[in-house]
Amino acid sequence: MSTSNHIEIEINTRPFQVAKDSTVEQALTEFNAKPPYAVLLNEQFLSNSLYPRTYLVEGDTLEVISAIQGG
């Protein structure tokens, strides 16, 4: 639930609170994302060059994606 200073977003399908006016980069740090990773913001690819200047709003969804085994 959002408060006056925080907003609620979703990271990897789970609710996550970040401070208002947080960037994607800040949210990833708080999430403790382990590099290397790539990101979807609201189901669209977000280039890593945009993390520091993309601001999150209530209800945004982030997917933090990393390498796994594949065939």
Partner 1 sequence: MSNKKCDDPVTIYGTQLQSRLLIGSALYPSPQIMKNAIQASGAQVVTLSLSRQNPQANGGQDFWQLIQSLGLHLLPNTAGCHTVNEAVNMAKMSRELFQTDWIKLELVGDDYNLQPDPIALVKATEILIKDGFKVLPYCTDDLVIARHLVDLGCEVLMPWGSPIGTGKGLLNPYALQSIRDRFPEITLIVDSGVGKPSHATQALEMGIDAILLNTAVAHANNPVLMAQAFAKGIEAGRDAYLAGLMTERSTASPSTPTIDSPFWHQHS
> Contact residues for partner 1 (CB under 8 A)?
12-13, 31-40, 43-45, 47-48, 63-71
Smallest distance, Å, CB 22 to partner 1? Answer: 17
Smallest distance, Å, CB 53 to partner 1? Answer: 17
Cα–Cα distance for residue pair 70/58, rounded to 1 Å: 34
Contact 56, 24 (CB under 8 A): yes
Cα–Cα distance for residue pair 69/19, rounded to 1 Å: 35
Smallest distance, Å, CB 4 to partner 1? Answer: 28
Cα–Cα distance for residue pair 57/8, rounded to 1 Å: 8
Q: Please identify, using beta-carbon distances, which residue of 5 and 34 lies nearer to partner 1.
A: 34
